[in-house]
Amino acid sequence: MIKFHSVSTLFKGQKLYHINGERNLAALAQSKVKAIAIFDISEHETPPNITELLNKLFLACQFKLDEMLFVNRHLMPKLKLGDLQSRFAPSLILVFGNILSLPNITGLSKNIVLELNGLKIIYTDDVLTFEKNQKGEKGKLWSNLQKSLAIK
């Protein structure tokens, strides 16, 4: 077994953000977050398989580890999309499940990119359902991400 003395050794100096509470958001406000995943899992820590799925998805979208932010809304029930947008100015927010209310936005469809002032927002299945789905929804989401982010 390999022993790691610190998280920085494990990730070779790359920053990986996982937000478990509102107090942590303010500390990260100066970071260079470009992609945010919002999901709702009742567990206090995100399961490794979900973290791996999100990492693979955002890395495939050509984001670096230190440009990703994973937010568990279950631990931050008052979280609003506008708060994340104003604090981080990301280029992509991926919302897993119908967990955010957006009163001024209509016509949201699953796996379809909605662009607002340079911000791309995509709704898809909740993260646990999405993780189990091998082809259907993952393929639709990936196809739309490729088009909207000009990924080859």
Please write the tens of the pLDDT for every residue from 10-53: 445 455 555 555 555 554 555 688 999 999 888 888 889 999 98
Domains of the chain (ranges, CATH numbers)? 14-149 (3.40.50.10220)
List alpha helices for the chain, DSSP H. 7-10, 22-28, 48-60, 81-88, 127-132, 136-149
pTM (two decimals) = 0.75
Residue 59 confidence (pLDDT): 93
Q: Which one has a higher pLDDT value, 34 or 4?
A: 34
Give 85-138 pLDDT, tens digit per residue: 888 889 999 988 877 665 556 666 788 888 888 889 888 888 888 888 766 778
The whole-angstrom separation of Cα 10 and Cα 27 is 22
Residue 35 confidence (pLDDT): 93
The whole-angstrom separation of Cα 104 and Cα 117 is 14
Residue 4 confidence (pLDDT): 43
Task: Choose among 33, 27, 31: nearest CA to 69.
Answer: 33
| Beta-bridge partners for 19 | 71
Residue 44 confidence (pLDDT): 82
Count, in order, helices (H) and strands (E) of the chain.
Answer: 6, 6
Count of beta carbons in the 10 Å neighbourhood of residue 1: 2
| 8 pLDDT above the threshold of 80 | no
Give 41-73 pLDDT, tens digit per residue: 888 888 899 999 899 999 999 999 889 899 888
Residue 9 confidence (pLDDT): 46
Q: 110: which DSSP letter?
A: B
